[in-house]
Structure 1
């Protein structure tokens, strides 16, 4: 039996936002990794700047993804 935090099924709005948020998370992580490690990307930055900027984007993705699971106090 799978472990459920709540027994209720997610609303269509909540399910859509979860799918959209997961897609955004994946896109931001891929973008951060591209900036960090793809040398052919035409950015005029030094290597450490690329690492910092890519790391910042990945941290932002993790922050956005963690906000998906925060329960809204006004939601039913």
Structure 2
């Protein structure tokens, strides 16, 4: 039998936090992409071009870091 059959089912709070983490990852990354590729979104704030691109890149990097923490979370960590 493989390793995947021996794993226990996640508890409801842990499953909820996993779904919440995935939703946050998608929303942060989508927001960063919107800032990068939709310049009219930020015109009301009057940000210069380089600050808009930098903020979009930072949002995408933060989304990637959150996803890596979600994927590589230790098996012994409890919520």
TM-score interval for Structure 1 and Structure 2 normalised by the shorter chain: 0.7 to 0.9
- Within the candidate set 66, 71, 74, 2:74 is matched to 71
Cα RMSD of the aligned pairs, angstroms, is 2.4
CA distance in 2, matches of 1:58, 1:18: 19
Q: Which runs of 4+ in 1 moved over 6 A?
A: none
Query: Which consecutive unaligned segments of at least 5 residues does structure 1 have?
Result: none
- Residues 17 and 74 of structure 1, relative CA distance in 2, 3 Å threshold: closer
Any stretches of 5+ residues in structure 2 without a counterpart? none
Query: How many positions carry a matched residue from both structures?
Result: 74
User: How high is the TM-score relative to the length of structure 1?
Assistant: 0.79
Specify which of 50, 53, 57 is matched with residue 51 of structure 1.
Answer: 53
Shift of 1:72: 6.0
Greater share of helix = 2
TM-score (norm 2): 0.76
1:10 aligned counterpart, secondary structure: coil
1:15 paired residue number:
15
Aligned-partner SS, 1:68: helix
SS of residue paired to 1:40? helix
Instruction: Work out the CA distance in 2 between the residues paired with 1:6 and 1:27.
Output: 33
